[in-house]
Structures are given as C-alpha cells and as structure tokens.
Amino acid sequence: MKPDRWRKVDELFEAALERKPQERAAFLDQVCGSDRDLRREVEKMLQFDKQAEDFIQTDVFDVAARLISYPPRPVDTPRKRLAPVTSDSIDDARFIPGDVLADRYRIVGLLGRGGMGEVYRADDLKLKQSVALKFLPQSLTANAAALARFYREVSVARQISHRHVCRVYDIAEYEGQHFISMEFVRGEELSSLLKRIGRLPQDKAVDVARQLCAGLAAVHERGVLHRDLKPANIMLDEHGEVRITDFGIASLEVDQREAMSGTPAYMSPEQLEGQELTAKSDIFSLGLVLYEIFTGKKAFEASTLAELLNLRRSDTTPTSPSQYVPELDPLVERVIFRCLEKDPAKRPASALQVAAALPGGDPLAAALAAGETPSPEMVAAAPKQGGLKPAVAVSLLASVVVLLAIIAFLSRSTMLYRKVPLNKSPEVLRDRASELVKKFGYVAPASDSAYGMGLDREYLNYVHENDPSPSRWNKLSSGQPAAIYFWYRQSLRPFDVSSGAGVSEHTPARDIPGMTTLTLDTLGRLRSFYAVPPPKSSGADSATPDWSLLFSESGLDQAKFQPVTPIWTPPHESTARAAWEGTYPDQPEIKIHVEAAAFEGKPVYFEIFEAWDQPRDPQAYLSRFRERALIIVLLAVFITVMLGSALLAVRNLKLGRGDRKGAFRLAAFVFAIFFLRWLFTSHHVFTIYEALNFISSIQNVLFWAFFLWVVYMAFEPFVRRRWPHRIISWSRLLAGGFRDPLVGRDILIGALFGLGAIVCNLYLANLVPQWLGQLPRIPWFDFPATQLLGIRSFAHAVIQQTFAALLQGFILLFSLLLIYIILRRELVAAFALWLIMAVTLSLTHETAAAVPFASVTAFLVIWLLYRYGLLALISALFFLHLMIFYPITSDLSAWYAGDFVLGLIISLALVGFGFYTSLAGQPLFRGALPDD
C-alpha cells in the first residue's frame, strides 16, 4: 500500500469510526463511490478494529523483565554479564504459549512453578474460560499408588465449592503428563503482598483471617486436609477476597526430602516428625499464617533449612506478636498462640473456632459463612449481648406489672369463677358432703375419698342461647342452678387408680357397693346424690324413704313441688322411685324436675334436672363441625409430627448432628416435672393399685419426655443451621447460663408479650364486643385447677404451665421452620404461620367479633418468635398460660386466690430475675439526679 493510499484509507477509517455502526455502510457508499477497492480496505480496517480491542494491552515491562532476567544461553549481544542462568529458567517450561493441550486448553503463559510442578494459565476453549493448569512432577506420575491417591484427592477436592477456596475442576492427561485444571484467580499471592507491604493493617488482617478460616473450614468439612497452608498458597483476588489454593495436593509429595525442602517453615510439629496429619495440623499452619499477616514477620525465621529445623524442634516459642505490634489486639495474640500449641489437642478444634476467637468474631457468622451447622456450644457462645439499658429494663418491668394489674382487675367482668359465689372453701364443702352421706344412712367409715370442682357447660350454653338480656350472667351469683359445682366421692375400698388417671367425678366407675357420690352447689346445697346399693337384698326394711331430707338439703321446699311420674332411669337398682316438678326459690322462671330413688329405705339416687339436661345422644359425639375440624387437624398434625420427627431424629443421630446433650437435658427436665406432677397431684392409695398407678403414670411421663427428646433431636439441628440467632438465649439457658443478660432480656420481653396476649385474646376479645353493644359472652370457664384444689392444684398448674409453654414453643418454632422450608421465604413463612394461628384462635372463640383480637394475639406471638426467638416465645407462652391454669382474681381474700398469688409470685420472680440479669450489673441509677 502506498503511503498516500494508506493515508486515504486511514482518513476514511477514522471518519467511519466516528459514525454509528449502522450508518457506516451508507457513509462508505457515499465517499468511496465506485472505488470498490478503497471501500473494501476501509471495511477491513473496521473489522480489524473490532478484533484489536485487547491487542497490546499487557504490560510490556513484564515481557521485558522476563527477557532481561532470563536471557537465552547463546547470546551474541555484548551483555553477557546480565542475569545468571538458573535452573528455573523459563526455557525449561514444558509448553509455550499457543500450545493446545487435549484439544481443549490453549496455554496462555506460565504462571509459576511451585514445589509440585509448573502452573500455566490457559484458555479453556470449550467453555471459553480462563483456567489454571497445574502439572504434576514426573516423579509422581510414575508412581501408580501416588497417582491413585491423587485422583481420589481430586475427586473430593472438586466437590468443594466455597468463595474462599479456589475451585478444582478436573484432572486430565496430555502426552503422559497429568495436570489439574483449576479456577484461574486473577490476583496476588498473600506472600507477595506481605513482602511488599509488610503486615496488614489490623482490621484488614482480621478480615483476611476470617475469610481464611471460613475457606479452611469448608475444606475440612469435606474431609480434605490442606497440608501445605502458607502465604504462597493463599491468593487475594481482584476484589481482595481470599482464595485458598493447592489444598490436599501437598499430600502427593512422594519424596519426603523433597517435601521438606518445600515449605518446612509452615509445617506443624507432627508434620516435621513425619507423623499422621489431622485438621489440627492445618490449624497450626493457619496460626503461622496469621502470625505473618498480623506482624509481617515469620514466626520462625532461619536462614538455612537445618537452622530452621533445629529451631522448630527445640522448644523455642515464637516472639510474642505484640512485641512487633504493640497495639495488637490481645485476642489475636491469644488465638495465634493457641493455634501454635505443640500438642494438637490444645489447638482450637476447628478453623471456625479460630474465626470465632478473633476480635469481633461471631462464631455463628463464621459457621454460616462456611456453610456449616454451628454446634450448640457455639450457638450458646455467640457474642450476642442482651443487656438492656436500665431505662428500657425498668419500663419493661413496669409494663409487666401494669399488665398484671389490668389482668387481675378485668377478671371480675370476664371470669366465670368471679361470677359464681365461691365463698365456701373446698374443705368446708367436703365436710358438709361427708356429713350428708352419713345423714343419708351410709355410716360405714370410708377408707378413701376424693373431691373437686366441676363445670355445668350445658347451663351456660342454655343461658347463652335463650336469655337475651344484657345482665344474663348476673344470676349466676345465686349459685343455684350451679355453673360451678362441688363433687365429693367416698368409697369403702380404696379407689382403683391403676389406670393412672387419678380420681375424678366419674372415674373410676361407680361400681363398688357402698360407694357414694354427691354434688353440691358452691353454697353447699345438694345437687345430686348417687349411691351403689348392696349386691344382695337384705329383705328387711322396704318402707317408703323420707324424701323430705333430700329436699331440705337441696334448699328446696317440697311442699311447692308437684309429684309426677319418674322418667329418668336411676343408675343403680332401686326399690322405690319418685319424681316432682317445681322451680328454684331464687329463680322461679327455671322449671326443674327432681328425681329420687331408694333401695330398701336408703336413698341411692337424687338429681335435679333443668330444661338443658337432656339425655346425651351417644352418637352426638363430635357433631359440631368446628370441634371435629379442630380435632382432625390436631390429630393429623400430631401424627405427622410424631412420624416425621422420629425419622428425622434417627437421621440426625446417624449423622451426628443432633444436640444430644441439650435434648437429654430437656427430656430430663420434662421427666422431672411430670414425675413431680404425678407425685403431687395423683390420687395415691396404699394398695397394689398404687404400683399400677405408678407404672401407668411413668409410661405417660416417659412418653412425654421421649416425645420432646425426639422432636428436639429432629428439628433443633435445622433451626441451628438456618436460624441460630433464634436459639442463642435458649441454648445458653439449656447450657446452664441462668445469669446471662440475654436470657434475662428474653424472659422479660416474653413476659410482656405473654401478658399482652392474655389481655388481647382473653379480655379484649370478650369485652370489646360487649362494650360495642353485643350480648356478653359466656364467661371464661377454662379453669382446670377446679379439679384439684389446694397446694396440689398449684403444683399441677405450675407444671402444666411450664410444659405447655415448652411444647407449644417448640411446635411454633418447628412449624415456622417447616413452612419456611416449603415456602423458602422467611417473612412469608411467618405470615403463613400467623394466618394458621389466627384462624385456630378465632375458631376457639364463639364469635366473629373476636377475630381481630385473635389475629392480634397471633401476631404478638409470631412476631416475638420471629424477632426474639425461642426463649422469648417460651417465656411468653408461660405467662400466657397464667390465664388457663390459675384462677386470676383481684379478690385476694378468696380461698382460691392462693393459687393465683403463688403463680403470681413465681411469675414476678421470673420477671424480676429477667429484669435483674438483663441489666447485667449496670447500676439502675447512674450517678446523681440531673442538676436542676
């Protein structure tokens, strides 16, 4: 091309480049006209321009330096004195740039030459990626056993995928030479960085150290040892991220002496001794690397190998890092020295523990970063502080106390037991009952008796459905008919308690002659009487009994009753029957039907029937859709959870994942409280029944303990893997950390939420619709403690309360986890669980007006779990169950207030404990009062 022609082409080439690609053709048409040759030339230049994008971009000095440092041997230039010819000359390289290996890798250049062999940069022509190819020394490839070991190692190493580990892709062979293809990391080796700048600034060093630990942990997790961890094997990529390279490969050294000449400076004592290596050996090397990162100095510095080996074999300890870097965080020095322990057993157990011990180290974050499940100990040791500021703690405590006061105050308008005249204590009623039994002619001394409280739900339902007056519940105060009643049983022979179910109004069955059962209203008036007649007729007195006694004990005037034909079948044989109709003296609008029967002169049956007393249809059981649906759902959930958790627990046990210690402690705790409950609350008798009672109860106790153990073994590891932060305080409590501020904080916050939930779900859901003009709903009658009175009822209550809180806490947490696994999004899972809980709670209420309150309650509970985790939730549930297991009252003189007061004392003690520990020793009042 002539220069003037060249200039013309260049000119048009420039002009074309100025234009948009799509406009160039038209432009060239115009300027070139008929000169097709010119046009072709310009188009060709445009084509070359595209290809030349990356052309001559590299640093030419790199090339120059290479050429200068390693001149070819026969140099005919006058500069022969230049670089000495070393054995490391690039002319020894097996491949030159441009060579294509195995039809796939085109060599780009030699990256380096390690102890093992050459490393090339190459282009993977198939996948269009840069890779690094590491060639193995001939000494290895010739050794079949070593080669086999190497293949095994690579097969494991290529499974390791971690952002801080350089990926191994494959192993291949080219003309008898084996090489590994690995990820090509654009960056700098830590060794050269350290050489350039000395030590790293401390915060950067901590960052690098942590990434290093995460990467090494990921390698160890797969069962691979690095064996040659040193700064030269650690890359910092272009983003400054750490990449560990060459792991496991050092194991292939066949020649021990050669291996020693590699990097003995970074070897563990056991490695120098030629002993078997473990992950702890890598931890030692890690310690040396950390030493260098933080100080810029080698821990063991020696000029010759022999000197180094001497130094290492002697008991010399490295200079304290803080002598080089006085401002070094003592934590760093401590963890480095722990890694450098001569005895492997004294070194940190894992790279993650090293990370955790670094300043600001969060073992959980380290574990999660390594894709590993943190151990329960690590969860408990998380650096999360729960200390509350005094002002916050005080206001939480104050809110709890205020909520308790509100709950006690509002009980008057909501609770059934506040509307029924509960003036007489159960002991008074019991004495009256046994008097009555004697009066009715059963004078033989009883060897066993039992009593309790019962609830007439049918009466409440009847009023609810038939009385439209706003004051409809006020008449409960007359006590007759009885919404809450007292029952008493006695037997000539100890009760059969072998079923383990204890003694209640209906169990064991009334089938032993002489056994009597009666019920009184809460003011002591007779409601019903049942006696089992003797098995054999005495044939003696069969005179008509004196029915008037029964009437007078019932507080009814027999004269005002009309005799009618008996219609209700007495439960036992009788020789005389009678029936009357009339009304209650206080409530003449309630019509009653009185039935009585006698056997040979003694009453065996007395009962007052009201309109709502209908014979129970045996088939009507579970007729209500809501109840049926609820029970079906509960059963399905229970069975699924049982089977699923058993399978999972077995799997976790096999994999060694479960928290055995925690699960055992939990199970032992549940066993203990259930055993205590049985001891305190069961009906004990001094007969052989007691042994059977014990056995059945132990079965029950063992079942629950085991059930909780299984559930905990099954699900806890998943929570620990995904949401360790939700079980930090729980793990601490389980590990005995009672004084931990975080534990205290969660208990305190939980208490607040639990009490808030009571106010919302119990009081507001009941009272707000009433304030808005709806008819008052049935008073809250859930009062299981009525079955058991006195100190026994309290023991029962507190144990039930604890267990229910535990069980429900787990169920909610594990449900959230299951839903999360299905839906994949944490917030969505929380929302779904909230929805389920809101619907379930709404179903337990009888009215649609309660739905908003049920929803808010569910929100409180789920949000608490979501935000504060398991322990706070359990605490909240514990307080929430106050309403179920204790007779909440503001009338502290009532005989039943004792239970509530005790429950309150326990609750307040717990809250106070939470308050105290959450302060973590801070003074409540700091210094003087503010200046005026």
Partner 1 sequence: MPAISPQEVTQLLADWSKGDRSALDKLFPLVDAELRRIARRQMSQERPGHTLQATALVNEAYLKLAGQEGFELQGRAHFFAVCAQVMRHILIDHARAHARDKRGGGAIQVSLNETSAIVGEKAEDFLALDDALRFLERVDPQKGKIVELRYFAGLSIEQTAELLNISPRTVRREWQRSKAWLYRMITEGTADETRPLAKG
Judged by beta carbon, residue 77 or residue 565, the one nearer partner 1 is 77
What amino acid is encoded at 358 in this protein?
Answer: L
Quote the Cα angle for 889-891-892, to 5°: 95
Least distance in Å: CB of 191 to partner 1? 8
Report the first-to-last Cα separation within the chain, whole angstroms: 96
Query: What torsion do the CA atoms of 807, 808, 809, 814 make, to the nearest 10 degrees?
Result: 90
Judged by beta carbon, residue 97 or residue 563, the one nearer partner 1 is 97
Is 228 annotated in the active site? yes
Least distance in Å: CB of 1 to partner 1? 5
Least distance in Å: CB of 306 to partner 1? 24
Least distance in Å: CB of 16 to partner 1? 10
Nearest-angstrom CA–CA distance, 101 and 172: 10
Judged by beta carbon, residue 13 or residue 337, the one nearer partner 1 is 13
Residues of the shown chain interacting with partner 1 in the complex, contacts defined by CB under 8 A: 1-3, 6-7, 10, 13-14, 17, 44-45, 48-49, 51-52, 54-77, 79, 82-83, 88, 90-91, 93, 96-98, 106, 108-113, 121, 123, 188-189, 192, 195, 232
How far from 149 is each of 135, 140, 247, 484, CA to CA, in Å? 16, 10, 14, 80
Q: Reduce the secondary structure of 893-917 to three states and give it as a string.
A: CCCCHHHHHHHHHHHHHHHHHHHHH
Quote the Cα angle for 76-77-81, to 5°: 105
CB neighbours of residue 330 within 10 Å: 10
Sheet bearing 242-244, strands edge to edge: 187-189, 234-237, 242-244
Least distance in Å: CB of 62 to partner 1? 5
Residue 144, both tokens: 């079949």
Q: Are 216 and 347 in contact, with CB atoms under 8 Å apart?
A: no
Least distance in Å: CB of 3 to partner 1? 5
Going by C-alpha positions, the residue among 581, 575, 576, 535 that lies closest to residue 560 is 581
Bridge partners for 110 per DSSP: 120
Judged by beta carbon, residue 126 or residue 824, the one nearer partner 1 is 126
How far from 792 is each of 129, 306, 452, 489, 508, CA to CA, in Å? 76, 79, 11, 18, 20
CA 769 to chain CA centroid, Å, is: 37
Judged by beta carbon, residue 88 or residue 427, the one nearer partner 1 is 88
Judged by beta carbon, residue 137 or residue 454, the one nearer partner 1 is 137
Nearest-angstrom CA–CA distance, 294 and 292: 5
Nearest-angstrom CA–CA distance, 65 and 82: 12
Q: Are 341 and 347 in contact, with CB atoms under 8 Å apart?
A: yes
Q: Is 33 left (phi over 0), alpha (psi -120 to 50) or beta?
A: left
Each residue of 4-17: b (16+ CB within 10 Å) or e?
Answer: eeeebbeebbeebe
Least distance in Å: CB of 299 to partner 1? 22
Judged by beta carbon, residue 69 or residue 447, the one nearer partner 1 is 69
- DSSP string of 73-117, one letter each residue: SS--SS-TTSSPP-TT-GGG-S--TT-EETTTEEEEEEEEE-SS-
Least distance in Å: CB of 65 to partner 1? 4
Pick the catalytic residue from 49, 228, 315, 617: 228
Sheet bearing 602-609, strands edge to edge: 448-455, 484-491, 516-521, 526-531, 602-609, 591-599, 576-583, 562-564
Nearest-angstrom CA–CA distance, 437 and 602: 11
Q: Is 546 left (phi over 0), alpha (psi -120 to 50) or beta?
A: beta
Judged by beta carbon, residue 60 or residue 345, the one nearer partner 1 is 60
Judged by beta carbon, residue 93 or residue 254, the one nearer partner 1 is 93
Residue 536, both tokens: 């054999």
Least distance in Å: CB of 10 to partner 1? 6
CB neighbours of residue 931 within 10 Å: 4
Judged by beta carbon, residue 93 or residue 311, the one nearer partner 1 is 93
Judged by beta carbon, residue 10 or residue 307, the one nearer partner 1 is 10
Q: Are 213 and 351 in contact, with CB atoms under 8 Å apart?
A: yes
Residue 332, both tokens: 């760093």
Least distance in Å: CB of 235 to partner 1? 12
Sheet bearing 118-124, strands edge to edge: 100-101, 105-113, 118-124, 129-135, 177-183, 168-174
Q: If DSSP codes are grouped into helix, strand and coil, which group holds residue 136? A: coil
Going by C-alpha positions, the residue among 696, 675, 785, 671 that lies closest to residue 502 is 696
CA 545 to chain CA centroid, Å, is: 67
Contact partners, residue 708, CB within 8 Å, separation at least 6: 663, 666, 667, 670, 806, 807, 810
Judged by beta carbon, residue 105 or residue 485, the one nearer partner 1 is 105
Judged by beta carbon, residue 6 or residue 706, the one nearer partner 1 is 6
Least distance in Å: CB of 105 to partner 1? 13
Least distance in Å: CB of 273 to partner 1? 29
DSSP 556: -
Rg (CA), the chain: 43
Least distance in Å: CB of 75 to partner 1? 5
Residues acting as catalytic residues = 228
